Amino acid sequence: MWATFVALLFASAKGDGNLDEVLLYLSTCNGLIIDVRNNGGGLISAAEQLASRFTNTPLLVGYMRYKTGKGHNDFFLNFALNG
């Protein structure tokens, strides 16, 4: 029976730029789970950088909305962000 090693990576918006080193270290794992639940967002370049490590195909990495008023739902159009 083969052992299975799955890594769990907690991603935050406050990184120190060592993503390549971390992914290289985890490259021997059979699987990778990236938990972004506590990431506050706002840094689209971080999402694009992370997504680019796993595919060369352009893909949707998120949406951007602009607040237009004080109301809860007062937003301008959604903009698709492709990485």
What is the tens place of the pLDDT at every residue in 10-68? 776 565 567 788 888 888 888 988 887 776 666 777 777 777 888 888 777 777 778 88
Q: How much is the pTM?
A: 0.56
**Which residue, 42, 41, 34, 45, is CA-closest to 8?**
34
Name the one residue in this structure whose structure tokens are 């962000």: 81
The DSSP symbol for 46 reads: H
Q: pLDDT at position 59, please?
A: 77
pLDDT tens track for 40-50 = 666 777 777 77
Q: pLDDT at position 81, please?
A: 67
Count of other CB atoms within 10 angstroms of residue 46: 19
Handedness of CA 22, 28, 34, 35 (dihedral sign): negative
Tokens of 64: 């951007």
